[in-house]
């Protein structure tokens, strides 16, 4: 979109900030959100970020992109794939924004080797609570903001521009769905793949999985490929015959399509291998919002045939969920049918890989929700080589201090549980929060949290958050992270 338009959008943002009364809290004037925690109703003007939703420019040779903070990954990937490149981590849902994934936390199947989205950021322009835009890098005078910004959820400011690393990608993702019957063997396989970046002699470029229930665990191993086959060993690749002059090019391989009648998560149980275009692989979970589209009937073949393809998207389901919450449709149906009241259990948590089996066993007994998503991750070192594992040292990201050198597994679960009259007190969510803490894990803050202030500050380095906020938002124009995540201001 170019620098000129970007600067005009930033100026528009500044004007909207100036229009907010000095005594009022500053919030985004943004109608959509991928957050699941309740927020207080607001009125009055907010920050106008409507012009900050594009790609400023891409440097194919340097493998970097300058991107506005409100640009969705759907739009970003559309542009980068034209150059055979993708961001280091592409979160699963199309309408997640780059700025949102960095100031919040995004994750996907490349996180076992590429970490989290903020780890491939080279620099970012951040609009602060004082109405200034500062450029933060890991080693300039705003390095404290750069390190603290991830997991701050807008409490320290909003990214207007981010420069990120990109990695090359071919045309296809060849998949293997590997089943495990025992949780300890599943954990061991995750640890092995994270270390070796391969399984059975085949390179692994993407790694995630699904726990359908006790004794039924799958890892999906993705291998980037140009011809639709697995690249096993260099010797075999070298022995492939090259195409002769005048010989017709081979036909593109047949790929699966999970935007139509077929549903991706069900294919994991039904087939051992698969082939997707890289584009379709990146968005394999969006069509059915993992498996949550079933709540709206979109997985019923009769309904699905009538459901327009353009509406099989996570943001459409999010709007339907908003309507349900607004009018209490599901609660009314439950009362009419005599079912106990529901508790929404929507969380992503990280547990050390060696504690994964313990958590899954506990979760199945205490919560009983299935399936759940599994996504391994490991922090990366800062520096010129963003693919070097952290060997030790202090926490590089202070607001979400995962241990350097430790492999974690993100466990994602999104649904409701019938708990009865106690549902408003969120007993299952509170139990999950306590169990994750017991297992030396962490939880994302996009959904409900219940920590007391002392525990919260210990887990998310509250002292540093307060110090950085005092520097960049001395008048407390932005809501603090604790108030956003826990008290829901």
Structural domain harbouring 265: 172-284
pLDDT in single tens digits along all 489 residues of the chain: 678 999 999 999 999 999 999 888 888 876 666 565 566 555 567 899 999 999 999 999 999 999 999 999 999 999 999 999 999 999 999 999 999 999 998 999 999 999 999 999 999 999 999 999 999 999 999 999 999 999 999 999 999 999 999 999 999 999 999 999 999 999 999 999 999 999 999 999 999 999 999 999 999 999 999 987 765 433 333 334 444 555 655 678 899 999 999 999 999 999 999 999 999 999 999 999 999 999 899 999 999 999 999 999 999 988 888 888 788 888 888 788 889 899 999 999 999 999 999 999 999 999 999 999 999 999 985 543 444 443 334 567 888 888 888 999 999 999 999 989 999 999 999 999 999 999 999 999 988 899 999 999 999 999 999 999 999 999 999 999 999 999 875
Last residue of a domain, one of 250, 284, 318: 284
Which CATH number covers residue 28? 3.30.465.10
Q: Are residues 100 and 210 in the same domain?
A: no
Same domain, 182 and 260: yes
Tell which of 284, 306, 327 closes a domain.
284
Q: Contact at 8 Å (CB) between 378 and 408? A: yes
Number of domains the chain contains: 2
Asked which of 256, 284, 312 is the last residue of a domain, the reply is 284
Residue 229's pLDDT is what? 72
Inside any domain, residue 78: yes
Rounded distance between C-alpha atoms, residue 283 and residue 427, angstroms: 33
């Amino acid at each position: 979109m170019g620098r000129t338009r970007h600067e005009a959008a930033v100026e528009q943002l500044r004007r909207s900030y100036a229009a907010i009364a000095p005594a009022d809290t500053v919030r985004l004037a943004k109608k959509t959100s991928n957050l699941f925690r309740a927020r207080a109703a607001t009125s009055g003007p907010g920050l106008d970020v409507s012009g900050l939703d594009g790609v400023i420019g891409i440097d194919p040779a340097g493998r970097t992109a300058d991107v506005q903070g409100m640009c969705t990954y759907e739009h970003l990937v559309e542009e980068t794939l034209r150059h055979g490149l993708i961001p280091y981590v592409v979160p699963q849902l199309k309408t997640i924004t780059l700025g949102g994934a960095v100031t919040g936390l995004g994750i996907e199947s490349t996180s076992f080797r590429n970490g989290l989205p903020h780890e491939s950021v080279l620099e970012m322009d951040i609009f602060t609570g004082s109405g200034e835009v500062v450029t933060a890098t890991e080693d300039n005078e705003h390095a404290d903001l750069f390190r603290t910004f991830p997991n701050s959820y807008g409490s320290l400011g909003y990214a207007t521009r981010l420069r990120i690393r990109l990695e090359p990608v071919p045309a296809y993702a060849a998949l293997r769905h590997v089943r495990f019957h025992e949780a300890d063997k599943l954990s061991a396989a995750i640890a092995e793949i994270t270390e070796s970046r391969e399984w059975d002699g085949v390179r692994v470029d993407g790694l995630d999985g699904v726990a359908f229930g006790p004794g039924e665990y799958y890892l999906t191993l993705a291998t980037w490929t140009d011809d639709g086959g697995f690249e096993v060993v260099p010797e075999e690749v070298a022995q492939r015959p090259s195409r002769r002059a005048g010989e017709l090019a081979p036909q593109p391989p047949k790929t699966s399509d999970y935007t139509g009648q077929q549903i991706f998560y069900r294919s994991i149980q039904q087939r051992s291998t698969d082939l997707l275009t890289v584009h379709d692989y990146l968005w394999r979970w969006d069509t059915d919002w993992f498996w949550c589209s079933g709540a709206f009937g979109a997985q019923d073949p009769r309904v699905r045939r009538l459901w327009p393809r353009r509406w099989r998207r996570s943001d459409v389901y999010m709007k339907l969920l908003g309507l349900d919450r607004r009018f209490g449709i599901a609660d009314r149906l439950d009362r009419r049918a005599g079912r106990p009241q529901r508790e929404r259990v929507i969380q992503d948590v990280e547990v050390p890989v060696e504690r994964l089996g313990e958590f899954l066993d506990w979760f199945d007994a205490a919560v009983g929700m299935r399936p759940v998503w599994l996504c391994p991750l490991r922090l990366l070192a800062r520096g010129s080589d963003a693919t070097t594992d952290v060997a030790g040292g202090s926490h590089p990201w202070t607001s979400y201090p995962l241990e350097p050198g430790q492999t974690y597994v993100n466990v994602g679960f999104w649904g409701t549980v019938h708990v009865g009259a106690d549902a408003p007190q969120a007993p299952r969510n509170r139990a999950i929060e306590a169990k994750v803490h017991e297992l030396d894990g962490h939880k994302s803050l996009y959904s409900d949290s219940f920590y007391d202030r002392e525990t919260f500050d210990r887990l998310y380095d509250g002292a540093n958050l307060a110090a950085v906020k005092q520097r960049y938002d001395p008048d407390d124009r932005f809501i603090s992270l604790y108030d956003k995540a826990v008290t829901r201001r």
